[in-house]
Structure 1
Amino acid sequence: MNLTRQMLARILLFLVTAALLLPTSVLAEAAPGDSRLADLLEDEQARTALIEELRRGAAETEAAQAEEAKPAASFPGRVAQLTQSLAEGAVTEVEAAVQSGRVAWHQLKAADLMDLTLQMGLLAGLIAATLVTLWLLSWVARFAYRRLNGYAFSRTGTVGVIRRGVAIVSSLIIDVITVLLAWLAGYAIALFVLGASGQMTTQTTLFLNAFLIVELLRAAIRLIFSKRWSGLRPVPLTDEEAAYWTAWTTRMAVFLGYGLLFVVPVVNQSVAPELGRTTALIIVFMAFLKGVALIMQNRKRVKQRLTTLAERMETGFAQISLNLIAKTWHLVALIYLAAILGTTVLFPAQALPFMLTATVQTLIAGMIGIALSAFLTRVILRRIHLPEDTRDRFPQLEERLNAYIPTTLKITRFTILAIVAGVILDAWTPFSLTAWVVSDSGSLIISKIVAVTLIIGFTLVLWLVIASWIEFKLNPATGNGEPNPRARTLLTIFRNAIAIALIVMTVMVVLAEIGINIGPLIAGAGVLGLAIGFGAQKLVQDVITGVFIQLENAVNVGDVVTAGGMTGTVERLTIRSMGLRDLSGTYHLMPFSSVDVVSNYMREFAYHVGEYGVAYREDTDQVIARLRDAFAELRSMPEIAPNILGDLEVHGVTALADSSVNVRVRIKTAPGMQWAVGREYNRLVKRHFDAAGIEIPFPHMTLYFGEDKAGQAPPAHVLLEAHDPDHEDSDSTAQPRISRFRARSNPKFKGDFDEGEE
């Protein structure tokens, strides 16, 4: 029903227009050649208007020549002259339009009404037939739109976004095909039905051309708002909002399109250019006023809508962009309308083609840029998920790849923004993007940007490959087992060195590519390196010593070493220093220049060397037998046995010391396990010696009670008695003890024990 009303309104508009404009065209066709000029000269009013027009043209020529002869005025003067010329030109245009209207009115009176009615009827029939054809084709296309709308909602996620994009593009193609078929049908009707076979009037051609442009513009409007099919609507609007904006933008497109593309050209050709320019100015001014009213009415609503949309965006770039557009969209729209009005006033002949081309180019560039940015945002922001087997072999590869996503997205958005800005500048300014691209400077800049991008991309890919390979070698889940400490240390140092080399080389190559002479930089770096070498000899010595220590596999992370007078576990190795943590937990950082000897306790195997002293009265053969028994028990312990690499080595009696006979044994163990094996073996030796009654000597103490000056010793009352805490009547074999002393805690020394009082 709405479409029918719109078609009837258009038919009525064109009937009125044809009724006003066709008479002069008929007269022009009826009086070809010199007959029309003769008719104009016979008509007194027309002759007077022609004479005034010639005089005005001569006056304008003289004024232009005089203006060229004047010296250049100041900027305020030029502004004043421009304003004056615009005002005078407007008055002149109005007078010429009025005069042309009078001439057209007199010609209309003398025209043949039958011929006028026939021409008007033919044009009205063409308009009606073309619009009806378009309506029928659009009705048939609804079935395709309905299927495309369902296809757009059939999936969600990235696949759903892709399907929706395909559906929107397909709907646009169907819409364009519908318009083209209706346009071709109108041409066929005009050529073979309404007029003489193979002939068309000027008005018919102008209408069909205007119909094609206006309907294609309406197709673009339907692509953006799509009031009937929400799945084919790329902008987030409700059905009511889409219907509202579709209605007003369509009305503006029909009013401006048919007015400027059909009515104004007909007036220019049939009546006079002055009246045509006045008509175009009136049409544009009316559209300008209506556009300003629409913008101001919807300023707050659009701002609120854009702000709400910005809050739902996932990226900061989209939020900032939408908030900025929400605050300034009405200003941009008002400037655009003012540009249309100003261009129409200043350059009436070029206004319509320029504004139409620039607007379409801007809309296409903006929509493509927004669509690409939105698509890339959805695709790139999705994390890369590698197969489980790849994640097991390269645990950090997925995280490293995802770390490149934000930077890649920013660069891609900046590139899209730069291209869209270039296309918009090409549309609205004298700047030509195509000419700049093919120029020497443009080609050079683009080639430099592409070269730098390829260099940086190649460097990142190379680093990704090297880092992944090192990660693969360090990963125990690759099938080769846990890498040894030397391999882990060397690979870590190699990774750091490669990273530094790649950064330096990439910076140098990029600087050379953009035209900076890196020769002085290399020379300066060499001189600076020489100066640093002389001034930091200790640092150079640290680095060189560290390189050779690593190459000779002297120290690895996790080794227990003695270096620089310190013994501890190596926790950190760099190209310059080594970090040790000793038994008490203190961390020592020592440069390699202070390391002259490295004692490593973690190479291939180790020994526990035990030297046990027994009393002189003990039988050494029995002692050795007990040592072997203790070793046999040690070998039977499941937690210790895997760390023992050989049999017990008995070196025999190594010394007859002052208070003991020393017997030495040695146990071969896995590297780093000599201390644990030694501690457990000492425990077993003590237990076996106690069981066999073998005495382990220990220092004896002699108590001396002292004498007074007379040589008398004070009495020391010591009572020995047998005491059993469980049985008071113990036998005589009980060990005596000092019964008059009790041991108790001394709080003054926090848990130490000493003798108590009597």
Structure 2
Amino acid sequence: MIIVLTGLILSASPSQAKNEVNAAPSSSQEINTNLVLADLLENSGSRQALIDKLRAADGGPTASPSDSKLTSTEAQPKGEQKKSFARTIALTTSNIGSSIKQQFSALFTAVAALFNSEIATAETAAIVAVAINIAVLIGVTFAVFILFRLFARRPFSIINTWACKGAKKYAMLRTIGAVTAAGLVDTGVVLSAYLIGNTTASLLHTHNGADATRLALLLNAFLLVEGVKLLLRMLFASRFPALRLLPLHETQAKYCNRFFANLVGFTGYGIMVLVPIVNKNLAPTSGAALTTLVVLCAAIYFSIVVLRNKNDIRQNLLTKAKAYQGVRSIVLRLLARYWHLLALTYAIAVTFSSVLYPETALPFIATASLKTGFYIGIGALLLTIIRQLIGREINLPTSLTEQLPQLQSRVNTYIPTGLKVLGTLVATIISVFTLDAWAVFDFYAWYDTETGSSAVSSLLDCLLILVLASAFWILAASYIEHRLSPNKKVTPSAAARAETLLGLFRSSLAIVIIVMTVMIILSEIGVEIGPLIAGAGVLGLAVGFGAQKLVQDIINGVFIQLENAINTGDYVNVGSHEGTVERVGIRSVALRDLFGTYHIVPFSSVEAVSNFTRDFAFHLGEYGIAYRENIDHAIEHLKAAFEELRQGAHKDDILEDLQVAGVSALADSSVNIRVLIKTAPGMQWAVGRAYNRLVKMHFDKAGIEIPFPHTTLYFGEDKEGLAPPAYVRVDTDKPEIAATEASSTTS
């Protein structure tokens, strides 16, 4: 905004002076004519325009703009034909100073002429009569306006009470509805006062002969200024907090409303009422001087308020900056440090522009400022509504979360990202329209070109594609989770398979969506995707030949998954490794063995898969007894041990009764009896260990011998078959052996 205004100041054009010449009316008073003529002759641009006009009226040749430009260029020295930036600034400052001097000099001269000439007495009387009519119109209009405002407090209070009720989620929607309703009521008050003022103006014109033009100027100014104040009340309503769009404290809102209302009222009524009257009764230069005076007073008032509130606003901005991170925090901190400089620069730029272009600068600046505020307000309001409706975090129902465990986290991940993208888009749109409002960039002219329309269309198409791709990803991933998400009713093996397939399908779906989205977006922005697709095919073929092992890994992995051979949590034997499956990918499986070692086995090296935890398992036990033991008696104790096992901690892991296969072998030193226990998958080892313990305890209690290896000592024999003597020494140090030796000696 400041750069725009600075450029407006530096781009001073002689056409403005020419417009002033054409707009200057001829006065009946000689003093006014002389003043106007003197002002025109003092300004080089006005003097040249007057000369051209006189020549045209006399039928002489008139210099064209190009000739004038050529003449002025040739008349200049070569060193000054191309002015530097510093010289331009200096000339602009000098023109501003001389313009202010001429304007105020003309104003003081015209005012002095009113009090020093004989004609001034009649003009003063006419001015007094006009002032009386205007005062009557002002009194009636504003009295009706204030009275109707008092009557409107009751509807405002009812609307405010309604807006304060209801859920917090829809607070901004209720606030917008309440502000709109209050704005309609306030608009009715302003229009009613305007209509009554219009009726009063008609009566004054009919009975007192008042100038209808002056009265219409006042009423139009009242309608415009009070309309702007109405918008300010919608932003800074001090009495009713629910009718205030901006989240400010009551004291702050009251202060802001009073400040902006005073500024708008003083500037609006001064420029739209007083300046036209002065232009008509005195001279255009006097009106320009009055415009400069009004703008200068408003700028001084604005600067005083800015400097007075510099520290308070800085602290508020720093407090808000602490609540954010990243770029927003940096921007708020910079704005907190330099906001007052920006505001003062804006005031200075407005003042200088009004001095250089008193007739065109102020309407342009006012319109551009209002448009900028409107764009920013609409964008901020839109984002606030979206944030309040959606919220920072979405909580889904518990039943849906159980079926789709990743949906809530996924939605809460995409929504903040979407809000950031939307905020960036809104900020971009606001910046573009703001530049258009300040005539820096003509958006509509650029959009009419083929490049502009194509760029906007491509941008909208890309955003729509991204939104559709995100929505499709959320819906498809949620459907996959719904179909494969394990629940309490399925078996552990089915749950493991669902978890494995869920990761596989989710990764494949993400790759497909990303590739398709990128291809479509490239096509939308004008990139030919045909060569890309052909190149990708050739590259895929080359990669396929060069990475056959990788392709084999992927293909084997797909078929292994389709056959449901391996799931996460299974205990398997693949290749030369055995362990619990921790991860099943597209090309490899990760195992952790009993020693805690982590193995990654490529599917290409897997020739067979041995899964120990599929559907059910068996504990295969063979228990040997001595040849002298009764086999049926031993089987009874095996069944007794099983019954005790079923009553213990593993009762839920045993699926069927004990299966006694019978005698499996007559071994060298034992008779082996085989039994089978059907268990839940993966529990066969724990059940077997517990059953072995109980079998040993039952056999010991029944006195059933469990054979163990015996050693026979052979001392050899000679050719006659006689064994050599075995020399045995008895250790008498041990009391047990000594007692045994004494007993044998006695016998």
Query: One fold, TM greater than 0.5?
Result: yes
Pick from 188, 202, 207 the counterpart of residue 199 of structure 2: 188
Structure 2: give runs of 5+ residues left out of the alignment: 1-24, 53-64, 74-80, 717-723, 743-747
Structure 2 letter corresponding to 1:353: P
Q: Does the Cα contact within 8 Å between 1:560 and 1:570 map onto a contact in 2?
A: yes
1:652 maps to amino acid: V
Aligned to 2:351: 341
- AA of the residue aligned to 1:189: T
Match for residue 84 of structure 2? 75
Alignment of 1:258-407 (within 5 A): 258-311=269-322, 313=323, 319-407=329-417
Aligned partners of 2:654 and 2:255: how far apart in 1?
85
Which one of the candidate residues 722, 731, 734 is aligned to 1:717?
Answer: 731
Q: Which moved more, 1:391-400 or 1:318-327?
A: 318-327
Which residue type is aligned with residue 70 of structure 1? S
1:640–1:677: 8 Å Cα contact kept in structure 2? Answer: no
Could you tell me how far apart the structure 1 residues matched to 2:319 and 2:471 are? 40
Which aligned pairs between 1:218-229 and structure 2 lie closer than 5 A? 218-229=229-240
Instruction: Check conservation: 2:187, 2:230, Cα contact below 8 A.
Output: yes
Give per-residue Cα distances to partners, 1:357-412, cap 9 Å, x unaligned. 11221222233333333343444444212223222322332222112232122112
- Cα distance in 1, alignment partners of residues 729 and 361 from structure 2: 134
Matched-pair contact (CA < 8 Å) for 1:608–1:675: yes
Letter in 2 for 1:450: L
Give the direction of change, closer, same or farther, for the CA distance of 1:641–1:693 in structure 2 (3 Å limit): farther
Q: Deviations over 1:422-479 (max 9, x none)?
A: 2322222342344444543333222222222222222222221222223223444476
Paired with 2:509 and 2:454, the residues of 1 have a C-alpha distance of 32
Q: Is the 8 A contact 2:571 2:682 kept in 1?
A: yes
Q: CA, structure 1 residues 164+81, in 2 after alignment: closer, same or farther (shift >3 Å)?
A: closer
Q: CA deviation at 1:81?
A: 5.1
Deviations 1:121-162 (A, max 9, x none): 333211211111111111111222333344444457334444
Q: CA RMSD in A?
A: 3.9
Counterpart residue identity of residue 593, structure 2: D
Change (3 A) 1:479 1:586: closer
Q: Do the aligned partners of 2:160 and 2:242 also contact (CA within 8 Å) in 1? A: yes
The separation in 1 between residues aligned to 2:473 and 2:151, in whole angstroms, is 58
Q: Secondary structure at the match of 1:70?
A: helix
C-alpha deviation, 1:163, in angstroms: 3.2
Normalising by structure 1, report the TM-score: 0.79
Tell me how far apart the structure 1 counterparts of residues 93 and 649 of structure 2 sit (CA, whole Å).
Answer: 106
Sort the Cα spacing of 1:199 and 1:447 in 2 relative to 1 into closer, same or farther, 3 A: farther
Residue pair 2:485, 2:499 contacting (<8 A) in 1 also? no
Hey, what's the Cα distance between the residues in 2 that align with 1:738 and 1:253? 130
Q: Distance in 1 between matches of 2:369 and 2:174?
A: 28
> Cα distance, 1:518 vs. partner?
3.0
Residue number among 550, 563, 574 corresponding to 2:585 in the alignment: 574
Q: AA paired with 1:73? A: K
1:697 equivalent to 2:699? Answer: no
AA of the residue aligned to 1:406: P
Do structure 1's residue 510 and structure 2's residue 521 form an aligned pair?
yes
Task: Give the 5 Å matches for 1:707-746.
Answer: 713=727, 715-717=729-731
Q: 1:322 to 1:737 in 2, by over 3 A?
A: farther
- Judging changes above 3 Å, is the alpha-carbon distance between structure 1 residues 721 and 700 closer, same or farther for their aligned structure 2 residues? farther
Matches within 5 A, 1:59-208: 59-60=48-49, 68-71=70-73, 72-76=81-85, 78-79=88-89, 82=92, 93=103, 106=117, 108-109=119-120, 111=122, 118-154=129-165, 157-192=168-203, 194-195=205-206, 201-208=212-219
Q: Indicate conservation of the 8 Å contact 1:542/1:577, yes or no.
A: yes
The runs of 5 or more residues in structure 1 that have no matched partner are 1-35, 724-735, 740-758
Q: CA deviation at 1:95?
A: 5.9
Q: Indicate conservation of the 8 Å contact 1:381/1:405, yes or no.
A: no
Distance 1:541 1:110, change over 3 A: same
Question: Tell me, what secondary structure is at the counterpart of 2:669?
Answer: coil
Higher relative contact order (CA closer than 8 Å, sequence separation 6+): 2
Residues 515-534 of structure 1 mapped to structure 2, 5 A cutoff: 515-534=526-545
**Offset, 1:220:** 3.0
SS in 2 for 1:530: helix
State percent identity of aligned pairs. 39
Question: Cα distance, 1:619 vs. partner?
Answer: 5.1
Q: Which residue of 1 aligns with 2:460?
A: 450
Name the residue aligned to 2:450.
Answer: 440
- Structure 1 residue 495 corresponds to structure 2 residue 509: no
Match of 1:571, SS state, is strand
Q: Within 2, Cα distance between the matches of 1:146 and 1:474?
A: 56
- Label 1:630 to 1:338 Cα distance change in 2 as closer, same or farther (>3 A): closer
In the other structure, the counterpart of 1:257 is 268
Aligned AA for 2:289?
A: T
**Which letter maps to 1:148?**
I
Q: CA deviation at 1:206?
A: 1.2
- Aligned twin of 1:428: 438
**Which amino acid letter does the alignment assign opposite residue 249 of structure 1?**
F
Deviation (angstroms), 1:510: 1.9
> Under a length normalisation based on structure 2, what TM-score does the superposition of the two structures give?
0.80
Give the aligned partner of residue 537 of structure 1.
548
Farther off after superposition, 163-172 or 348-357: 163-172
User: Structure 1 stretch 657-666 or stretch 289-298: which is displaced more?
Assistant: 657-666
Q: Are 1:214 and 2:225 an aligned pair?
A: yes
